[in-house]
Structure 1
Amino acid sequence: MFPITALSKQPAAVKKAADRGPVRITENGRGAYVFMSEQALKELIERERTDAAYEAYLLDAVQQGVADIEEGRYVTSREEMFRRAESRRARHA
């Protein structure tokens, strides 16, 4: 975090910090701006894209699980699970 005056008085320090990620710039002691390098912005956007894709994948998996339960596609015992797994394995062998 840097005061806004650091942009003119300590630009090298602000830029160095911005290379690592977002830097908060304060004005009158309160958060006012965020400064970052182009590379840090690209990395942040890519991380957010990856997170959003993973969240969509998880949401789809949960929705599929709920649909499976509603349609009765589930087992309630360990033995039944192994029996079904063995049956599937035998069909694909």
Structure 2
Amino acid sequence: MAAIYSSAALKTRQREIKDIARKNVVHITENGNAAFVFMSEDLFEERLREAAEEAALSERMRACIRASDDCFDRGDYIEGTDAFLKTLDERMAAHG
């Protein structure tokens, strides 16, 4: 469950909020509305790293899909499991 505190709690429950923010995102509200998020520097860097890795993976997947579309358009594809396995065996044998 998400940790949610009012902005006033930053004054009265500072230690508790900091302890939670070391491992999780803390949501801070003002007048009952979402206003801010609070987290440790380490957690922030971890989340940024995860987001960057996810973005890089998504881009690699898009590139693979574009390349496969190009191959298909050129007629560069294999139809059927047996044909695929045979071609795979041939390619593996040719490349050691």
TM-score under structure 2 length normalisation:
0.88
Counterpart Cα distance in 2 of 1:90 and 1:19: 52
SS of residue in 2 equivalent to 1:85? helix
Give deviations 1:36-79, integer Å, cap 9, x for gaps. Answer: 11111111111111111111111111111111111111111222
Query: Structure 2 stretches of 5 or more lacking a match?
Result: none
Percent identity between matched residues is 26
Equivalent residue for 2:80? Answer: 77
Equivalent residue for 2:27? Answer: 24
Q: Once superposed, which parts of structure 1, at least 4 consecutive aligned residues long, lie more than 6 Å away?
A: none
Which region of structure 1 is more displaced relative to structure 2, 77-86 or 20-29? 77-86
TM-score under structure 1 length normalisation:
0.90
Counterpart Cα distance in 1 of 2:95 and 2:41: 50
Which region of structure 1 is more displaced relative to structure 2, 77-86 or 42-51? 77-86
Alignment length, in residue pairs?
93
SS of residue in 2 equivalent to 1:20? coil
